[in-house]
Amino acid sequence: MGDAEIIRLSPSKAARLVGNTGPSPEAGPPPRPKVRKVAPPVPSAPPEVITDKEIDRTDESALDFVRTRFDGRFEVDDFGFDPELTDKVLLNIIRPLYRSWFRVEATGLENVPSESSALVVANHSGVIAFDSVMAQVALHDEHPAHRHLRMLGANLVFQTPFVGEIARKAGHTLACHPDAERLLRAGELVGVWPEGFKGIGKPFSQRYKLQRFGRGGFVAAALRTGAPIIPTAIVGAEETYPMIHNSKTIARILGLPYFPITPTFPWLGPLGMVPLPSKWFIHFGEPIPTDDYPEGAADDPMVVFNLTDQVREQIQQTLYKLLVRRQSVFG
């Protein structure tokens, strides 16, 4: 569905642009025949026909969108999530990366519920947290219910100008118990990357080796709300920025958790920040139910540790399976 919309939108935009600037070199059906009196009749319509009506409608909704952006009449939820901005701007910006650059193949979407809450737990890698963004696109574009993934991020995200602002507007919030439980209780799909900086900041030699899974806080949140845990494996992110060395000195100076040295960064400057176009696979695994535990299980460290290990083990196994299936890194 998301796919179809994109294809329909872009030619209409092109048509609009053409309409403003004059006749188009690519001859489509003339949008307003009255103006072009001598236009030759088009023998057969191209496969994608955009009627005037459709153009008007996209124009109108685009205009509405722009209007609300100027008068502040758009709506956000209590977390600052702006679904309209996310759907119409943010996801459109990131989608080419998902489709054309990383050519993500998402599987197991049937394991993600369409309406109720669930906790997506995935491995974290690749220096910049592209993996979380790709998981968000996968769940929005490929899941039949077009679910928004509400991620739990580190406080570094929220203290960084622009990054924090956009993260909140895209529906994400701070990784802390109250927020995780509040989102899950509201029936949201919540994403968590328990490896945190240990995961994205690990050297290339450690690729696809899961790091420590925090203190299992995410498991406790799932247990308290009875939300199923969906162990998710992401393959491909490790190769986007192969981190050869972590310069701890520079990291300390810049106040960052790590500072990556890759074959291209910082040597090529901004060009070195372009991620390598590895081929990606995301698999949403079978849900682990948490609603059959007794009351107070969330406060029982043994239950929490065991469940954390189970989730971790399942992700690690899926990672190995996906790696075996992968033909080559850039496939």
Partner 1 sequence: MGRIVLVTGVSRYLGGRMAALLAQDPDVETVIGVDVLAPDPGVPGVQIVRADIRNPVIAKVMGEARVDTVVHMGTIATPRQAGGRSTMKEINVIGTMQLLSACQRTPSVESLVVKSTSAVYGSGPKDPAKFAEDMEPRHPPTSGWPKDSVEVESYVRGFSRRRPDVSVTTLRLARVLGPRMRTSMTAYFSMKVVPTPLGYDPRMQFVHEDDVLGAIQAAVHRRAHGPINVAGDGVLLLSQALLRAGRPILPVIAPLLPSVGRALAPRSLVDFSTEGMRYLQYGRALDTTAMRENLGFVPAYTTAEAFSDFLQGGRTSQEVNTVG
Q: How far is the CB of 63 from partner 1 (least distance, A)?
A: 16
**Part in contact with partner 1 (CB under 8 A); list of ranges 72-80, 203-211, 235-243, 250-258:** 72-80
Task: Locate 147 and state its tokens.
Answer: 């679910």
Map the footprint of partner 1 across residues 175-204, applying CB under 8 A. Answer: 176, 178-179, 182
Map the footprint of partner 1 across residues 221-250, applying CB under 8 A. Answer: none
Q: Which of 143, 147, 148, 169 is the binder for partner 1 (CB under 8 A)?
A: 169
Q: Which of 161, 255, 270, 294 is the binder for partner 1 (CB under 8 A)?
A: 161
CA distances from 35 to 19, 30, 38, 325 (A): 11, 9, 9, 57
Q: Does 63 bind partner 1 (CB under 8 A)?
A: no
Closest CA to 13 of 28, 1, 34: 28
**Backbone torsions φ then ψ of 232, nearest 5 degrees:** -125, 135
Give the interface size with partner 1 as a residue count (CB under 8 A): 28
Q: Which of 34, 43, 73, 115 is the binder for partner 1 (CB under 8 A)?
A: 73
Instruction: Say how far apart CA 328 and CA 331 lie, in whole Å.
Output: 5
- Geometric angle at alpha carbon 33, from 56 and 15, rounded to 5°: 45
Q: Does 155 bind partner 1 (CB under 8 A)?
A: yes
For partner 1, the closer CB: 71 or 295: 71
Is residue 229 within 8 Å of 311, Cβ to Cβ? yes
Q: Which of 72, 255, 270, 294 is the binder for partner 1 (CB under 8 A)?
A: 72
Q: How far is the CB of 184 from partner 1 (least distance, A)?
A: 13
Instruction: Say how far apart CA 226 and CA 228 lie, in whole Å.
Output: 6
Compute the half-sphere exposure of residue 132: CA atoms within 13 Å on the CB side of its CA: 27
Residues binding partner 1 (CB under 8 A): 69-74, 76-80, 155-156, 158-162, 164-165, 168-169, 173-174, 176, 178-179, 182
